[in-house]
Every structure is written in C-alpha cells, then in structure tokens.
Amino acid sequence: MRLALATIAALALCALAPAPAAPAAAPPDLSGFFSRIGDLWFDAIEGDTDGKPVDRLNVDSPDAEDIWAGDSANPILQPWARDIVKRNAESEMRLQHVYTADDSCWPSGVPQAVNLLDVVQFIPTKDRVTILYQRNHQVRRIWLNVPHSRNPKPSWYGESVGHYDGDTLVVDTIGLKAHKMSVVDAFGTPHTEKLHVVERYRPYATPFGKRLEVIVRVEDSGAFIGPWKGMAEYQQEKTVKQFEETVCAENNRDFGEGTTFGTIPQENAPQF
C-alpha cells in the first residue's frame, strides 16, 4: 500500500510540474504556393450590404475575350472615377488596350495585387507576414499586431498591418500612393490617397486541395460614394516547388500573344 501511495504521490508531483506552455491558437496555415483562380477581377458578394466592385461589361464582339471593359454604371463610383472607368472602357472597345501597372512594370498596389497572375507565397514570421508575388518579383510586408503609424508616407504597397482572426489573416492597408498606374481593379478604377483596404485571407479545404478565400473591403471617399466589397480565390499549387522568374522588363509573360492587343508601339530609332 505504501509503495502504491509513493508511486501515486510521485505521479501526482509529476502532474503538478509545470507543463510546457500550450501554444496560442494556431494561425491559419498559409504555407505553400498559391495561384489566383477565376476571373482576374473581384466578384461581388451576394447578400452583402456594402457596395459591389466594378464588374466586367459583357461585350458583343468577336474580340470580346480581349476587351477588358469595366461597367462605369456601378453606382459606387464618384463622378470623376466613373469618367475614367468609362474612358478606359471606350478605349478597350476600340481595341486600344489600357495599359495597367502590371503591363508597364510598375508595382500593382493594393488590392489589385490580389488579381495578379502567377504564383504567390505567404511567409509568416514572428512579427510579420511577407507576401511574395512571382509576377515581376513584388513584395509586401504585413506587420502583425501593431497599429498604423500616424502619417505613413504614401507608397505603392502602402502600410499594411495585420492580425489573425481565428482562421483568417486580416490585413489593413493605408498610405497607398495615388498614381495614374495605381488602380484598384483590372478596369483601371482609380483611387485617391484616402484609400483604405482590408483584406481577409481564409484557407479552406476542398476536394481539389487547399484554397484561399480573399475578401477585400475598399473605402475611399475620394473615389467611391461608400465602401465596397469583393471576393477572389487562390488555389494551392501542389506541383509548384519554387518560383519561376517572371521579369516584366524581359516581357516574358506572353503578353499580347494571340490577342488583338499585341502590337505595342515601338520606336525604330532613338530620337537622341
């Protein structure tokens, strides 16, 4: 009996010994490589009370596939922004492509970076999540669990802070530079330096493998009459083991291949 008691006492002491601290709630698993799937613009979210993203116009033309014209009738647009979307659409209808940041080797900004083709990698570390875009080797940094600075200097990717909300990475971005090439979607919808974007990245399992739901909420009282929300999706690329190089300066992205927009004006001789 004494023996049994001693053994029980020893085990009890063991049980009372401090256990290794349980890890905090696990952050969402964003590991691996992802690619954008679906259309390269934001889908509206059914039933959501915010405004809807600018949608692509249905065009009745043999070249319809190559015409990326936004619907300027979207009531979310301020008049000056509507004019730009309309002008872009008319240019596209004339088969004169409206060159975007991605076409022209500029950073794509937020939230348009979500619409980039090619592979994307999320690298969580202790104080930040780094997002790498294969397309023209672009980088974003999301600083975790810190507030925004008081007056961030405007930049192409702005100032992004984030946190984990259960199974979701939430990214809040301000300080985005307003530039003619800095737009919020594939239709050249402009923004001002009041732009405020919240992205929510949530991984989920499907029969086709892991996917990443991305919901963006966009506010910019300079360009929109109210906030709007859109959705996009990434698919995990299980066969991709490392980035390839997609170098804009090299124009190795097959831009214009087989499209009516392939002819980029070129000078035959320098003027100087």
Partner 1 sequence: MRIILGPLIALGLCAASAAANAASASSPAAPIPDFAGIWWHPSLPGPEPLASGPTTVTNRSRRNGTSDYGQLVGDYTNPILKPEAAAIVKKFGDMSLAGTVYPNPANQCWPEPVPFIYKNFGLQLLQKPDEIIMLYEQDHEFRHVRMNQPHPAKLKPSWYGDSVGHYEGDTLVIDTIGTKADQPFPMLDLYGTPYTKALHVVERYRLIDYEDAKDGLERNRKENFTAGPGLDPNYRGKYLQLTYTVEDEGVFTTPWSATITFGRGSDIWPETVCAENVHVYYDKDERVPTAAKPDF
E-assigned strand segments in 51-185: 119-124, 128-133, 138-144, 159-165, 168-174
CB of 78 vs partner 1, minimal distance in Å: 26
β 138-144/159-165 pair status: parallel
Residue 171 CA to residue 148 CA, distance in Å, equals 11
Measured from the Cβ of residue 190, the count of other Cβ atoms closer than 10 Å reads 24
CB of 11 vs partner 1, minimal distance in Å: 5
Return the number of the residue (72 or 138) whose C-beta is nearest partner 1: 138
Contact present, 53 and 185 (Cβ < 8 Å): yes
CB of 179 vs partner 1, minimal distance in Å: 8
Look up residue 114 and give its DSSP letter.
G
Return the number of the residue (20 or 147) whose C-beta is nearest partner 1: 20
Residue 232 CA to residue 255 CA, distance in Å, equals 22
CB of 266 vs partner 1, minimal distance in Å: 7
Return the number of the residue (94 or 126) whose C-beta is nearest partner 1: 126
Return the number of the residue (59 or 117) whose C-beta is nearest partner 1: 117
Contact present, 161 and 172 (Cβ < 8 Å): yes
CB of 272 vs partner 1, minimal distance in Å: 4
Tokens 């794509």, residue located: 108
Residue 105 CA to residue 97 CA, distance in Å, equals 16
- The residues of the shown chain that bind partner 1, judged by CB under 8 A, are 2-4, 6-7, 9-11, 13-14, 17, 19-20, 104-107, 123, 125-126, 130, 132, 136-139, 141, 155-157, 242-245, 247, 249-250, 265-268, 270-272
Residue 231 CA to residue 145 CA, distance in Å, equals 24
Nearest of 146, 140, 110, 109 to residue 126 by alpha carbon:
146
Rounded to 5 degrees, what angle do the CA atoms 139, 140, 143 make? 145
Measured from the Cβ of residue 241, the count of other Cβ atoms closer than 10 Å reads 7
CB of 121 vs partner 1, minimal distance in Å: 8
CB of 130 vs partner 1, minimal distance in Å: 6
Return the number of the residue (19 or 26) whose C-beta is nearest partner 1: 19
Residue 4 backbone dihedrals phi, psi, to 5 degrees? -60, -40
Return the number of the residue (61 or 252) whose C-beta is nearest partner 1: 252
Return the number of the residue (11 or 73) whose C-beta is nearest partner 1: 11
